[in-house]
Structure 1
Amino acid sequence: MASSGLQIVGFLLSLTGVCATIAATFMVEWEKRFQVKELTYEGLWMSCISTTETTTCEIYDSVLKLPTEIQATRLVMVASLFFAALGLIISVFGMKCTRFMDAMPQGKGNAAVTGGILFILSGLLTFIITSWYAGRIVQLNQAAHHLQNKEFGHAVFVSWAGGLFTALGGVLLSLRRCWGSKSSTESIGTSHLLSTTNSKSNYV
């Protein structure tokens, strides 16, 4: 029961991380740029210009015209979500609280571990590309004019949290297999000891 509860905690952590990653991917506040009378937000899919009166958003028309950091971040975030989706599906089949693959305990455990590994991969991709994007913003900010200061948007912090939770949940799902195997070994050893003791007592 303890390993099953830990498995559920790992799955819920990863699920929370995936939700945060999805939100960050489509948020427009990846970068904030302050100018004299307006505030510009740049996301992976659109940009918005906010003034004291109105806010106007525009979807990016051409991918090739986008800056390198936006193109790369968009690609890696989509790949991260793809691996996370696979992890969600596979881990559901491998969790003890579900009825899938009950006739194949070994395969069920392997499915849980595979789902955990996919979550770890997804979380690492999200965390690494977000850190790279943040580093690019710092570099561009140092070279920019002092009237066009750039800052991290809320999406950067949401993405960092999403990657961390996704990877942490994947680690818990993967380690559960090791702990489960250890418990099974101890159970087998105990049963063997009891059977040996009982067989000896029959000779008395």
Structure 2
Amino acid sequence: MDSAPAPSPSLSPAALHRLVQEGRAPRLLDVRTPGEFRTAHIPGSYNVPLDTLREHRGELLAHLDEDVVLVCRSGARAAQAEKALADAGLPNLRVLEGGIVAWETVGAPVNRGPERWDMERQVRLVAGSIVLATGLVGVFVPGTHLIGTAIGAGLTYAAVSNSCMMGVLLSKLPYNRGPRPDIRKVIAELRSTQ
């Protein structure tokens, strides 16, 4: 009987904070959108959005050692990034437990920029608005409520599969994209700190 590979160990925010304070910080790759990264990120982290990481994982692999911690808002995108890098051959990756939310909760330092809504909040706004609008319109136009039902089914699938198509689509909006990190610059920075 085949068993699924064991997930990489996660790292608690307190343990990561201790490593940073001791000067033994691992490489921190933040896989959120550039907009989310600009709002708040762990000092010393590199922004490599999930889609960029997937696209350039081979190039990144040559500049990453085995001490890499992946960061996102809550851990879901970081887990996807972990799978992509592990599939490319980088072992011993870790995911920051609870993401940047947990990091801030323990009082660890963050670099702050202009406030933006995180992806999860944007998904809730769009999904809730569609369900509300189709529910109201459904009073006058029979069958419209089925759109809200489809959104509910999509959200259920997103929870079960730990993926979110609406989040992927929203991440493409200019509000979330901002200037895309230049992968050559990220690689140069990674190389200079090896």
Q: Same fold (TM over 0.5)?
A: no
Bigger relative contact order, structure 1 or 2, given CA contacts below 8 A and separation 6+? 1
Q: Structure 1 or 2: larger helix share?
A: 1
Give the structure-1-normalised TM-score.
Answer: 0.31
TM-score (norm 2): 0.33
